[in-house]
Amino acid sequence: MPWLVRYPHRVPVLVDRAELRRLHGMWRFRRFLPLAEGEEPVTLGEGDTPLLRTARAGSRLGLHDLWVKDEGANPTGSFKARGLSAAVTRAVLAGAERFVLPTAGNAGVAAAAYAARAGVPVRVYAPTTTPRTILSQILAFGGELVLLDGHIGHCGSAARAYAAETGAVDLSTLREPYRIEGKKTLGLELALQLGWRLPAAIIYPTGGGTGLIGMWKAFAELRAAGWVQDSLPRMYTVQSSGCAPVVRAFDTWAEQCEPWEAPETVASGLRVPNPLGGRLMLQALRESGGGAVAVSDVELEREALAATREEGIDFSPEGGATLAAARALLDRGALRPDERVVAFNTGAGWLYRDPSGLPPV
């Protein structure tokens, strides 16, 4: 069972909201984060990503108030920067001398960059099927890359063995509590950007679940602080039909996810067949009144391509999945055309394109 951070002695109600406006990046929320007075974060300027109205994509899909939070604008090109900035910060303050991380792709890039920033070596275990550009970025930041046949679950076992043998700190999703804290800033920043009025619905491409669990924790903390009064957004998960353990569990009223056999999807961030945080994700989806939907790789790639061209936002396959999900959720009446919907483009599309050739035209 994963551990989550609680802050018994630092109630966010004490935070001066004006202070937030003077600061920048995700660490402007440091009073909501595991950082004591006088401690310095390991940072590359993550956060403050654009929240963009996407009227053209919205009208094509039939949503009149659709917004995209473009997490591809983070250092290393994905929202993984937020979690790893927080996790590396805490680990280094605790004396870590070596890191290890299993990844489906983007977490490896972020771990390599933040480890470099901290001056600590990192070993990254990734599947051989990981997009080449992502692998080359891990190497560019000096990560020690080990490729394995299989999926992130196999990489996780190898990482735990390496950690046991060397004393390396294992930065795996939900095996340490701080990546979630960094991901919380997705929700805090969204609230700040919308003037503390949360949207009606959020669509989030879900793999390990840190974004979903983190945002839901953020909204609970904002509510406890009295900063948001409205009802909280309905949270919708989207997964690829080639790897959809959360959708299957949601649809069958299960409390936990069952491992997905033979996970297969081009959206590498969604290729997580047996997420440790399954129970927490399902809780968040149900408490929020949201839901879960699977879309095919063909649909998610088509949406990523279309929206990248019509909006000038560099959509990853995972980001494309949120738009394909928006269409599906509208069709089944889960979304209404006039309500405010925020979709998360969790990473940049360029990370998935092959550097050795021009993209198809």
Residues interacting with ligand PLP, by CB under 6 A?
A: 78, 80, 105-107, 173, 205-211, 269, 316, 318, 346-347
Least Cβ distance, residue 168 to ligand PLP (angstroms): 21
d(Cα 321, Cα 324) in Å, to the nearest integer? 5
Q: Which residues on adjacent β-strands are paired with residue 334?
A: none
Nearer to ligand PLP by Cβ, of 100 and 270: the residue is 270
Written as one string, the DSSP assignment of 84-139 is HHHHHHHHHHTT---EEEE-SSHHHHHHHHHHHHHT--EEEEEETTS-HHHHHHHH
Least Cβ distance, residue 131 to ligand PLP (angstroms): 10
Nearer to ligand PLP by Cβ, of 209 and 233: the residue is 209
Nearer to ligand PLP by Cβ, of 25 and 105: the residue is 105
Least Cβ distance, residue 64 to ligand PLP (angstroms): 26
Least Cβ distance, residue 103 to ligand PLP (angstroms): 8
Q: What is the torsion angle, in degrees rounded to the nearest 10, for the CA atoms of residue 265, residue 266, residue 271 and residue 273? A: 10
Q: Which amino acid is at 161?
A: A
Inter-CA distances, 12 with 8, 109, 211, 226, Å:
10, 32, 20, 9
Least Cβ distance, residue 106 to ligand PLP (angstroms): 3
Nearer to ligand PLP by Cβ, of 137 and 316: the residue is 316
Instruction: Give the E-state strand segments of 191-241 in sequence order.
Output: 201-205, 234-240
- Report residue 124 CA to chain centroid gap: 18
Nearer to ligand PLP by Cβ, of 25 and 209: the residue is 209
Q: Does the CA dihedral 7-80-260-250 come out positive or negative?
A: positive
Least Cβ distance, residue 148 to ligand PLP (angstroms): 18
SS3 144: strand
Nearer to ligand PLP by Cβ, of 245 and 347: the residue is 347
Least Cβ distance, residue 105 to ligand PLP (angstroms): 6
Question: Which residue of this chain has its Cβ atom nearest to ligand PLP in the complex?
Answer: 269
Report the candidate in 261, 320, 329 with the shortest Cα–Cα distance to residue 296: 320
For residues 124 and 101, the answer to whether their CB atoms sit within 8 Å is yes
For residues 75 and 113, the answer to whether their CB atoms sit within 8 Å is yes
Least Cβ distance, residue 53 to ligand PLP (angstroms): 21
Nearer to ligand PLP by Cβ, of 69 and 80: the residue is 80
224 DSSP assignment: H
Nearer to ligand PLP by Cβ, of 201 and 266: the residue is 266
